């Protein structure tokens, strides 16, 4: 469950940076919502497309702050996600949810671990009661 908590934290951090940048450009430069979101994304992703419109001095300072904070958060998120993929945690998260959903669907079942002498006796008893399926 720690992996899922970390994943949520990373997504929240990215959303906070996106909101911070969008609100900043909207307020400082008075750009539209779409232009502000676009500028925030190209700024923190460092793709180098250039500004949507020329920036004021306040906008340049804001962009510098956004670059430092946004790129830092984006690199942290990217490296964490790569680490989770390498360690297999992403599949564990989704696999665990799928398994828990399947377990919730189970009703009136038995799990027989081992098929030694006692296990065989138990399996035969369940078979006689028609409670054993393969």
pTM: 0.61
The answer to whether 67 touches 59, Cβ cutoff 8 Å, is no
Smallest CA-to-CA distance from 18 within 99, 100, 74 is with 74
The rounded distance, in Å, linking the Cα atoms of 87 and 98 is 19
Domain boundary assignment for the chain: 2-87
- Tell me the helices (H) and strands (E) count for the chain, helix number first: 5, 0
pLDDT tens for 94-110 read: 677 777 788 788 877 77
Residue 8 is inside which H or E element, if any?
A: helix 2-28
Class of domain 2-87: mainly alpha
pLDDT tens for 10-57 read: 999 999 999 999 999 999 999 999 999 999 999 998 887 888 899 999
């Amino acid at each position: 469950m720690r992996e899922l908590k970390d994943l949520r934290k990373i997504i929240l951090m990215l959303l906070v940076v996106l909101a911070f940048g969008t609100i900043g450009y909207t307020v400082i430069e008075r750009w539209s919502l779409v232009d502000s979101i676009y500028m925030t994304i190209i700024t923190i992703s460092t793709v180098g497309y250039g500004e949507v419109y020329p920036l004021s001095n306040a906008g340049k300072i804001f962009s510098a702050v956004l670059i430092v904070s946004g790129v830092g958060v984006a690199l942290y998120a990217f490296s964490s996600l790569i680490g989770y993929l390498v360690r297999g945690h992403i599949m564990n998260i989704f696999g665990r949810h799928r398994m828990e959903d399947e377990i919730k669907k189970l009703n009136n079942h038995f799990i027989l671990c081992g098929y030694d002498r006692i296990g065989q006796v138990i399996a035969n008893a369940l078979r006689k009661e028609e409670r054993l399926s393969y």
